Amino acid sequence: MELADWQGRLAELCERHDVPGAQVGVLADGDIRVAAAGITSRDTGVEVTQDTLFQYGSITKIWTTTLVMQLVDDGKITLDTPVVEVLPDFRVAEPGHADTVTVAHLLTHTSGVAGDLFTDVGDGDDCVERYVASLATAPAVTPPGGRLSYCNAGFVVAGRIVEVLRDRAWDDAVAAHITEPLGLRHVITRAKDAPLFRTAVGHVTDLEDVDGPAVPTRQWMLPRAMGPAGLITGSAVDLLRFTETHLGDGIGVTGERILSTDSARAMRDVVVDLLSVSTVYRGWGLGWRVMDWTRDGRPVTAVEHGGQTIGQNAQLYAFPDLGVAFCVLTNANSGPGLIQEVRDLLGAELGLTAPNPAVTDDGDLTPALGTYESVMLRSTLSRDPDGQIYLETISKSPANQGAPVPRKPVRPTGGGRFTVEVHGMVVEYAHLVDDDAEYLFGNRLLRRVD
């Protein structure tokens, strides 16, 4: 990565994608290089620098998984431990459901609990405990160990397990067991610490001018209870230093081991197969999602995770066999388009090619036409008189801040799968049929309701 070239290139990409500010970081041969461009907020005009903090969003789940696997290393739990052995009061609305949820289910999005519940239960140190208690009214989506459905709630439950077994708040566990041992000085978990750093503000669609430039959000961070699922905020440098620990099978740049070799490698092994629902991803590991890039015509394993919060988008890719990783941090809902373009440009510089969905003209999506719902989303697949199929989604996601989601044309990828473009990034969906239900899968399961 030629830093001088990337500074100018990143500024151009920010302008093209209506992203006020961004960082791009590359880790190779133990060296980290970061390009920064733009501003932290269109209200203030403060410049983005290499030490500016962006919200990592759901990349946080890799950190929470690391904390859980440390507990496994210490012999306090196993992946097969039922959650109720540690949290005896854990319940959801479906009687008996919580009794068979295991630690592994939480880390692989297979707990079956409705995942997109962003309940604000206050800002106290007991907020994670209170959030888990609030799940007593949460619906079940699938049986524990059933189909994967992306689950923020499950990672908050995992965070509560960390709190109970470490006898400290999740935020303090992150500091004591990850950031301090690794010497990471530009990472925070609480909104109250943001003024201590140069910190990016998210930008969202202006509801009074939906076709105009994005505007700063009026809510900076999700409720504190969502911390274990997605609130870690930091610089590209510190995100890559953390990632370097995983590439080093648990040993950080300081030389301190924070995770066993077995646990670091287990996180990267496929636990849930995704080949039936994706032409891009092989599967989900413990925290990480697993895919194959190519180099010189040969597959190269990559583990990755993205993050979306209120007007901020982030992406991390790591290549364990190469000792290489890179990340992109942005402060706009339009960030995914910039992220995808950076992915392809940086990949080319590294001699790597990312997989893309296998678009085909032969995919018949007629059986999938209809309306599907989850606790956060309502999506309808419909066909226009000209034969084009569209996906229309109504979202309650706090990341959108009430902005409308435009209707999108779909492109079949075969086997009941299709793609749509969301904020410039191609996203793949799949139509699934079980004995008792039909679903639309786009990381989350939406159940057919019409």
149 and 28 inside one domain: yes
Backbone φ and ψ of 189, nearest 5°? -125, -15
86 and 181 inside one domain: yes
Token digits of residue 264: 């670091």
**Torsion over CA: 253, 255, 256, 260 (sign):** positive
Q: What is the pLDDT of residues 48-88, one digit of tens each?
A: 999 999 999 999 999 999 999 999 999 999 999 999 999 99
How far is the C-alpha of 290 from the C-alpha of 96, rounded, in Å? 32
Establish if 257 belongs to a structural domain.
Answer: yes
186 and 150 inside one domain: yes
192 and 235 inside one domain: yes
Are the C-beta atoms of 247 and 301 separated by less than 8 Å?
A: no
Candidate list 41, 58, 149, 334, residue with the active-site label: 58
296 and 398 inside one domain: no
253 and 402 inside one domain: no
How far is the C-alpha of 25 from the C-alpha of 34, rounded, in Å? 4
Q: Per DSSP, what are the bridge partners of residue 428?
A: 419
How far is the C-alpha of 308 from the C-alpha of 322, rounded, in Å? 27
Residue in the block written with tokens 């791009």: 24
Segments of the chain scoring below 70 in pLDDT: 1, 401-403
In angstroms, the first-to-last Cα distance of the chain is: 51
Q: What is the pTM of this model?
A: 0.96
Establish if 361 belongs to a structural domain.
Answer: no
153 and 13 inside one domain: yes
Q: Per DSSP, what are the bridge partners of residue 372?
A: 379, 448
Q: What is the pLDDT of residues 147-170, one digit of tens each?
A: 999 999 999 999 999 999 999 999
Residue 152: domain span: 1-356
Are the C-beta atoms of 154 and 116 separated by less than 8 Å?
A: no
267 and 303 inside one domain: yes
Q: What is the pLDDT of residue 406?
A: 83
How far is the C-alpha of 253 from the C-alpha of 258, rounded, in Å? 11
Q: What is the pLDDT of residue 126?
A: 98
200 and 243 inside one domain: yes
274 and 385 inside one domain: no
* Pairing between β-strand 203-204 and β-strand 54-55 as defined by DSSP bridges: unpaired
Residue 276 designated active-site: no
428 and 292 inside one domain: no
Establish if 112 belongs to a structural domain.
Answer: yes
Are the C-beta atoms of 375 and 150 separated by less than 8 Å?
A: no
Establish if 153 belongs to a structural domain.
Answer: yes
Q: Which of 9, 47, 3, 32 is nearest to 236 (CA)?
A: 32
Are the C-beta atoms of 93 and 137 separated by less than 8 Å?
A: yes
Residue in the block written with tokens 């410049």: 47
Number of domains in the chain: 2
How far is the C-alpha of 448 from the C-alpha of 450, rounded, in Å? 6
288 and 166 inside one domain: yes
Establish if 117 belongs to a structural domain.
Answer: yes
Establish if 398 belongs to a structural domain.
Answer: yes
Q: What is the pLDDT of residue 159?
A: 99
CATH (domain of 196): 3.40.710.10
Are the C-beta atoms of 202 and 279 separated by less than 8 Å?
A: no
Measured CA angle at 230 (ends 182, 125), to 5 deg: 80
Residues ≥6 apart with Cβ < 8 Å to 23: 34, 35, 36, 48, 50, 52, 54, 235, 236, 327, 328, 329
How far is the C-alpha of 205 from the C-alpha of 334, rounded, in Å? 9
Q: What is the pLDDT of residue 401?
A: 66
Q: What is the pLDDT of residue 209?
A: 85
